[in-house]
Amino acid sequence: QLPYPIPEKIIRAAMQAIRDVASNPEENKEIHEYVRQRLDIKETLSRRLKKLSPKNFENLLHPVFQEDEIILIVVGGVLGAIAGLLQTKVAFSGSAAKAKSAAVLVGSLISSAGFYFLSEYSDTGKSTDYDA
Annotate 74-118 with DSSP letters as a single string: HHHHHHHHHHHHHHHHHH--STTHHHHHHHHHHHHHHHHHHHHHH
pLDDT class for 123, splitting at 50, 70, 90? low
Share of the chain above pLDDT 70, in %: 89
What predicted TM-score, i.e. pTM, was given to this entire model? 0.36
Q: What is the pLDDT of residues 52-106, one digit of tens each?
A: 998 898 888 888 878 788 888 888 889 988 888 787 777 777 777 778 778 888 8
Residue 23 confidence (pLDDT) above 70: yes
For the chain, the maximum distance between any two Cα atoms, rounded to a whole number of angstroms, is: 89
Average pLDDT over residues 35-49: 88
Residue 132 confidence (pLDDT) above 50: no
Q: Is 94 left (phi over 0), alpha (psi -120 to 50) or beta?
A: left
Highest mean pLDDT among 5-9, 51-55, 117-121: 51-55
pLDDT score recorded for residue 15: 93
3-class SS of residue 61:
helix
* CA–CA separation, 86 and 80 (whole Å): 10
pLDDT score recorded for residue 131: 44
Residue 122 confidence (pLDDT) above 60: yes
Contact, 126 vs 53, CB < 8 A? Answer: yes
